[in-house]
Amino acid sequence: MPILPRVDRVRYEEIEADLKQHYEATGSRDLTEYKRRVQHLTKAFRGHRVAGIGQADVDRYVVARSEQRAKSATIRRELGTLTKMLRLAYKNGKLLRLPLLDKPKEGAPREGFFEREQYEAVRRRLDVDLQVAATIAYTYGWRMQSEVLRLERRHLDLETGTLRLDPGTTKNDDGRVVYLTPELNMLLVAQVERIEAVQRRLGRIIPFVFPHGGKGGRAGTPRRDFRKAWATACKKAGVAGRFRHDFRRTAVRNLVNAGVPERVAMTITGHRTRSVFDRYHIVSPTDLQEATRRLAGTIDAAGVDTLHVAP
């Protein structure tokens, strides 16, 4: 029996391990999120020769995951991870040709966003440090798990009133700098004071903006997630089923409605392309009602309700 060339003997497990190692080395992906995305791929492609993976395999995967009631967006993200494995394998000389793989069609964008009163109702039902994290996400549209919760104290400058994300740590690899609102400046001053109290209790430096503050073994370690606390807060606030990612759409809408130039708004939220930014700019019934009032002349250009202005 002829011996296959090295590249033809590479199996899925090898390129999966390579991508995990790449993420560990570069810190460019949260490994908990990676494990969630890769678990179904591993069940489907374990033992497969990498050189033999093609469209038919992807189509079978899509059908199987759809039968498991996985959403199209979830399947697309999982296949995106597979594509990254294949690209890294090609880069590492373990694959001679990149296959052209079609993914499920992009679904309609979610239209979830928070009105101010809904956001405040959820926020006040969170722990005090998570209230700060929610305010950052609501104000700037930053991704909660991969951007807000991963902030370190070196990213916060209370003297200049800025908060930044390092290049290479965001989804599009671009760095970001924003200036703090008065509300966030006050909240972050208080957050730093809480961190320093935990430092004194533990007797060591805590570099994270959102560490665990309890007295157990996790005290002082960074918060990675708070899905259960979030779901509970939303349920108690009467908006069960909302996602933290809805803050991203909310921030885009708020920035545009506040008259912030589009290019500046995209820089704040971290949207590189106009098409994606537009998908996040959700128009609410309140927006439509205000537009009608403007057309009817009951609101002037400055946003003042002329029907209720005192004489």
The pLDDT tens digits for 221-236 are 999 899 999 999 999 9
For residues 38 and 120, membership in a common domain is answered with no
**The last residue of a domain, from among 91, 125, 151:** 91
User: In which band, very low, low, confident or very high, does the pLDDT at 184 lie, cut at 50, 70 and 90?
Assistant: very high
Task: Judge whether 46 lies within some domain.
Answer: yes
For residues 270 and 137, membership in a common domain is answered with yes
Task: Judge whether 308 lies within some domain.
Answer: no
Task: Judge whether 159 lies within some domain.
Answer: yes
For residues 48 and 87, membership in a common domain is answered with yes
For residues 204 and 140, membership in a common domain is answered with yes
For residues 194 and 243, membership in a common domain is answered with yes
For residues 162 and 27, membership in a common domain is answered with no
For residues 178 and 31, membership in a common domain is answered with no
Proportion of the chain above pLDDT 90, given as a percent: 56
Task: Judge whether 296 lies within some domain.
Answer: no
User: In which band, very low, low, confident or very high, does the pLDDT at 38 lie, cut at 50, 70 and 90?
Assistant: very high
For residues 59 and 121, membership in a common domain is answered with no
Q: What's the pLDDT score for residue 262? A: 81
Count of domains in the chain? 2
Task: Judge whether 303 lies within some domain.
Answer: no
For residues 213 and 253, membership in a common domain is answered with yes
The boundaries of the domain holding residue 195 are 116-280
What is the rounded average pLDDT of the residues 135-164? 94
For residues 141 and 14, membership in a common domain is answered with no
For residues 127 and 85, membership in a common domain is answered with no
The dihedral of CA 197, 201, 203, 209: what is its sign? negative
Q: What is the CA radius of gyration of the chain?
A: 23
CATH number of the domain within which 218 lies = 1.10.443.10
CA distance 93 to 163: 40
For residues 78 and 39, membership in a common domain is answered with yes
Q: What's the pLDDT score for residue 303? A: 52
CATH number of the domain within which 34 lies = 1.10.150
Residue 172 in this model has a pLDDT that exceeds 70: no
Residue 111 in this model has a pLDDT that exceeds 70: no
User: In which band, very low, low, confident or very high, does the pLDDT at 107 lie, cut at 50, 70 and 90?
Assistant: low
